[in-house]
Structure 1
Amino acid sequence: MTCVTTVPTFRLLDDLVGWDEDVVADLVGFTGAAGVRLAHTGTTPDGPTRAELLPWFPDPRLAPGCRPCAWYLISGDRLLRRDTSSGGRPLPRDASAGGWQPVWPEHCDPRVLRAPAAVAARGHRLAVADSGRVLVWRNEGDRLIAVIPDPGVAIALAADDQVLVADGDVLRRYGPDGCLQETISPGVEGTIIGIRTGPGALIWLLTEDQGRCRIYRGRRRFRPADLAELAAALPPSSLVSADDTGFCLLEPGPDGDMTTCWTWAGEPRPEPPPATGRYAAEGTFTTTLIDSGISRCRWHRVRIDVTLPADTAVSVSIVVSEDGRFADTDWQTAPPGVTDFLVDQPPGRYLTVRVRLSGDTSATPVLHRIRLDFPRATSADLLPAAFRQDPAADDFTERFLSLFDASLGEIDRVIERYTALLDPAGVPDQALPWLAGLLGLSFEAGWDSDLRRALIAAAPELYRRRGTPWALAEAIRLVFGVTPVIDELADDRHWAQVGAGARGLGAVRLFSRSSSRFRLDGSALGAAPLRSFGDPETDPLTEHAHRFRVLLPNGTAELGAVRRLVDQQAPAHTRGSVRLGETGFVVGSRSTVGVDTAFVPLPPPVLGGAHPLRLNHDGVLRPGPRGARHGLRIGEVSAVGIHTQVS
């Protein structure tokens, strides 16, 4: 553990405490949790940019096909198709070979397209928005199946053969035959410019409102979503970029994936240079005087929490002063790439921070937090005074020991946060099996993260009361959502009877010992079990000892899964069995209401058929329309012996 004589004080610079910014140039984000970052060269977008959304919402003139490397392109009044996965062969080295081909050859072109504006594809279906109507084909354009009179330009094909068309902020759903099934008002801001459908009949909408893009998800009621949710739900396409001159696709090549670029006419073109100018190349801010409240304060350490994408950098400079005045040559600048350094400044009450963010304009560093530690407190404070008589040596000793204090401080923080690693509600899903392993738990493959967290949270109480019926019932309730009935079979010993062979009605005769265990000179062959263990005299007590039965209603769980859970939770000296309820009960056998017993009307008696009834065994004749005790009549329903009698 780190040993210091005093508790160090620190000051944070972040969005919660405040950045104390004084002079700012080309930086934004001082009031948001996202962090300080370079400003956009144009209007700062609120939400994802159109370029970021291209893999999921391509230009309306482009649509991915049913195969991973198939694409459709609207070029003028023609519909083109490109498929680079035919036969599993990669794209040849000449990227222009095998380019875009017409969907309909010249000799069989139906000439139905007038001014197509958008295309969509799913499976082997194809749809095109063209001049106030939507045309739908099957077999990738071989058979026209519907013409929908709808002026919408954003279209999509759903998995259930339905067609989605957006016009402004209204969404319409059409059936496979082109008939309108539903009009949806999603309540989104802006104009719908893109539609995607995902698993579970979920619909994703892209809207644009004064240059700002927004994502929504839902079925009939839509809520805002972010790019992370979209990426987790839908795989991106191979579209890399698109602009007014053309677009680029990532396609398989002989030496790996390669980028191929095309004009909107389907002609090959060179790959454009990387996009620039999205962010400012450099931004700076300088804080006000940060007051330590200590005269001649010896500032100790500066720690920076920053995210640095490729080709970006951050530089931090500090200066300490006693009265707030300093010269330009007094600044101390951290070495490049260093985010944790000691303050090498004379003592002073005030400290000023200057931060410089830079990048190649395609990405921006993000500054999350700056921590300033003061006053200086190191392990050198524990040394005898003889080691601190020389000021130069004392300064070196403090800096040298600060290296070890920093490492020990990190270990201290890990130890302080260790309890959070054992919190099932706070750890990520990937850490749940590791946390369960510490507790001796094992998970089934089909259990979701919520169930796993509930089991880990309940593990202390389950272990405390393990071996009791409550603990077993609670484990089953947590996993399967139903409370079982647990029967201990020791209560069901059938070792006595009243009646035959007894001296009176109230007398009880034990079953013959020769029937419970095979005995020489006493048991008939095959009439009693042969056992080589235990005391025969204690058979009435041990026959069902340490045995129990778990009863569950029918259809609540899978039998094998319940048995595995019971084997894990049952005490080692017991043996349990699992019984799932059926649809009825048998007279003379033990039944449990709600588990294997249901009070339902009798089925109508039907003679013949695949499962014919046996009279006096399987059915009861019902009473006729004239009521009970009026005899049995052909063609009328009666219950023999209950309401009617045969005469």
Structure 2
Amino acid sequence: MNSLRASLSPAAEGLREMRGRSHWLRCGFVQTALQDEVVTLAPDALGAQSLDSAASFSGGFAGLSFDRHCRVFHPLADGQLEWLAWGKQTQLGIPADIPSPYPLSGAESESGDFGSAAPLPKAIVALACDEADYLYAADPLTPAIWLIDSWQAEIARQIATSGRPLDLCAQQGRVYALLDTPAWLSLSPCDAPQLLPWPLSLPAAERLDVASDGRAFVLLQAGTANAELRCLHDLSLKLPVPFCTDFLIEAPEAELGMRMVFARRPGEDFLCQRLLGRHFSPLPGLHAAGYDGRGIARAPDGRIAYWTARGLRHAAPARARYHTQGRVFGFALDSGLEQTRWGLIRLQACIPPGTSLRVRCYSRDELDDLQPLLRTPPAGEALQPIAEPALSPLPEQAMLDSDGGPGQALYLDSSARPLSAPLPDGFADYEAPVWCAPGRYLWLVFDLSGTRSKTPRLRRAQVEYPGHGLLGQLPRTLWREPSAQDFLQRYLAPIAAMLGEWGAVSEGRQRLLDPRVAPAEALDWLASFVGLALDPVWPEAARRRLIAEAAALFRRRGTLWSLQRMIELLIGAQSVLIETYRLRGGGVVGNAEATASRSVLGSGFRVGGSIGRDGETALPAAAEQPFEGFAHRFSVTVLADLDEEALRAVRKLIETHKPAHTLFDVCTVAVGTRVGVGLHLGLASVIGKSSGFDPMILGDAVLGKGYTLGRPELDRRAPEAGSWQGDGP
């Protein structure tokens, strides 16, 4: 509520805007629709191809299912299954492989052994896969739900049900089954089925899906003209979907809600609806050529998959058909001051060739005797309640009758504003002056014109107030007359807008030199000042940290401290750099054949190996070739579990900033602790450090009772000659 008042309340000067779904729903719509947060012309017949016939679909149900390994399973009419490895496609974008038979074997009931004649499913109508690679098959003739090991193609379990199972779905590690009793169950591979509550007033349903927030939805009278979607957790949440044969729910988006796809009879396009809270809004439909009408599924890439006579196919965006004219009545924008002269209108819109978008402006100082128009919802939606409607009334009919003109044309603003965020694909900035008398309140009315296949799209509208003050810099004799004042105010608006952009960039230029607050688009430019080349794969936070410390890092570039600090700034975790020469003279635990030390306790104490005699060395091969084994080599241990992309970024960073003559290797915590291979107590691995351990005192301590074994850090002696270790801070 506070954010609403802040967006609609008056202020001394600034901008008033309409953007986002919450703002647009305060407007009035006439043959226009709201797709997410974009205003368009209203789709004709919900923008989807429909059949003229009123016959119900009676082709049955055979819901297919994908597992987490991109295998799709499809039931056949005789109780058998077929499967297909999804992913390989032809140049036309269809699956390249043909389905293969999936023969089932073995069946053991929960009540005991069936003997040699092990029963198999008779008629599978629905499938679902869980995260444990079990395939659930619903058989209404048995009636039972069969649990199938998808890798062995063996039936692991037969779950008898109290009614005929009609549909299955999987969500968040659980599988849910819909029965005709009516009832629905929660299933898992080992546990007994859990009966879930069913509303008493709700009749039996035929399709089921569960959203990620836990709400379950069912489809009543599937395939008929009376098909209806209902929510088991909120019976008042319902949606008529005539001739719907199956539906599915996609993952929700934070501000837009979740999309639902409704498959209809063969030859009809799929319908799409957006559910936000408790309100549905239509979305562009999907075209499904050859759909058999027997069920849909979500493919691993997010597309909607269905079955045809030629195998698996994917739905594509349907060709929309729009009304050719529409209008949107904006709500009152309040400047807070009477006789406010409004400035420039800025719109973010997409206007394809053959379409147009015009704007009308109306103003007024008082709302006392205003008789606003009734608010009408976007096409295909129900009227939704809004908070404090008195803050945003619509214009009255008398205002509209006073202006019978075609409205103001918009002008494309092709200038690229410095460091501005990129616009969505197809959208551009448009401008127009406010052409109306001064007033405290301003109403914008948008006229949309298009074709049957194309529509203009409006995402955002902004109006600045008060207007520019360039008239005050001209002699008053030039604008004393009201008509001359109005003309000059509009004539100088483009110049004022250009000067305003230059001033805004000038006032914010100090932000460009601070890596903490500079726009993300300016980071590469800012890094070039200190000679730092930013890798595109680096996170934005890491880029800012590296730029902030680049000057100090480059003063010690190539030193141990500089490399270690760069790695920590990049990945946000600690790292340990070990020069190989520091490990000379040690032994390897349990490896008598080794010629180089990799296991050191503390900072130089050798563990394991035979004790050398007088005049002999424990590592003769390493002593003979000290250069090849130790010189100019170092190891980097990153105390984090990095993915492949992050590990490549770390390697590239080290390769760029290390001394050119050195060699290195990198390991992470994912490698594990390997005694004799990569474990260096006190160097790469410290036992007890940061855990409150105390040093161990011989004769006064028990090993394993909270004491540190070895030195907690490297001995800070002066580096040997030839070392590239710098003086850390």
TM-score (norm 1): 0.48
Larger Rg: 1
Does 1 or 2 have the higher relative contact order (CA < 8 Å, sep 6+)? 2
